[in-house]
Amino acid sequence: MRFVQVASVGTLLLGGCVQQQTVAPGAAPPRPIAVVPAIVRPPAVVHPPVIVHKTAASGVPIVLDSANSVDPSCHSLGVPTARVTQAPVHGSVKLLQRDIYPQFPPGNPRSSCNSTKAPGIVAQYASTAGFTGSDFTAVDVIFPDGKEAEFKFAITVK
């Protein structure tokens, strides 16, 4: 817990520290202080960026990744919010709301949900027709529980 001062002090006894203020004769005594606890919230959880390498045929849309959020009983917790934080130079990214299969790894308590579709977001990339070479894009996803993840995609277009 953190404390903040909300008024000036005469004498402050806090955490074993004493601070005194001298008052000149005839001067008004110092006003008492009020020390109130400040609410300190932990920062939102931000996962480090993940770089995913993909290969695409020129002009043909591919799914870069998808995200949804379900509880252990496979009920949707809501659709994640996604935004393109870095647009590709040689193509475009569409963020589509779709029912998708979760992709939990074996051993995750929700891996049994992998066979049941849930509402989610799909990031789809398509290069400009005729372009070949390298492209790059980034997508930020905020899940209904407040967790955030940034995904970066290095795309080889052939």
Q: Would you state the pLDDT for residue 131?
A: 97
- Check pLDDT > 80 for residue 144: yes
Q: How many Cβ atoms from other residues are within 10 Å of residue 104's Cβ?
A: 14
What six digits make up the tokens of 110?
């929700």
Please provide the average confidence, as pLDDT, over all residues in the chain.
81
What six digits make up the tokens of 7?
């008024």
pLDDT (tens digit per residue) in 1-55? 333 333 333 333 344 444 455 556 666 666 655 555 555 555 555 566 779 999 9
Q: Evaluate whether 151 touches 50 at the Cβ level (below 8 Å).
A: yes
Domain boundaries 46-157, corresponding CATH code: 2.60.40
What are 64's strand-pairing partners? none
CA distances from 139 to 4, 48, 65, 119 (A): 38, 13, 10, 18
All structural domains of the chain with their residue ranges: 2-38, 46-157
